[in-house]
Amino acid sequence: MPDDLGPCIEHGQWRNPKGYGVMERGGRRWLAHRWAWTQEHGPIPAGLFVLHRCDNPPCINVSHLFLGTKADNNADMRTKGRAAPVPRPNNTGSRHGNARLNEFAVRWIRAHVQAGRTQRDVAFMFGVSPVTINEIISRRAWRHV
């Protein structure tokens, strides 16, 4: 959070799984930061989002909030390190941003399952699902290795 913003004011009641404050007003459920924005600035124009400068989902301090488009929201997430890497054609295998395994591990998995280890045991060792191991063995995943 930038130092010049001042302290966050956090919504103290119910929060959704992503940490945003949730409230009911006028028979409608609101995200608390959107409600705070409308109380200070009026209706949110169609197609715009209420974003946090402080990157603190329960914060309702209107001086921390600003309007932006979906593209602005995505850029803000990337800038703050909360966006998953964009998969690219050359980002296969361990170069993919979401990879939990690498090429060495895939070769090890194939060799040890072929030698008699169970897919369930191997999955547990690597912290992945047995389905992932099955897809590696059948070459539906990591087929380039």
- pTM tops 0.75: no
Question: Between the CA of residue 56 and those of 62, 63, 85, what are the distances in Å?
Answer: 12, 13, 21
- The predicted pLDDT at position 70 comes to 93
- What is d(CA 75, CA 49) in angstroms, rounded to the nearest whole number? 13
Q: Quick one: pLDDT band at residue 26, thresholds 50, 70, 90? A: confident
Q: How confident is the model over 124-144, as a mean pLDDT?
A: 91
Q: What is the pLDDT of residues 81-107, one digit of tens each?
A: 877 666 566 667 777 667 788 999 999
CATH 3.90.75.20 region(s) of the chain?
3-79
Whether the Cβ atoms of residue 85 and residue 91 lie closer than 8 Å to each other:
yes
The CA angle 134-100-19, to the nearest 5 degrees, is: 115
> What percent of the chain lies above the pLDDT cut of 70?
90
CATH number of 3-79: 3.90.75.20
Residue 100 has a pLDDT of: 82
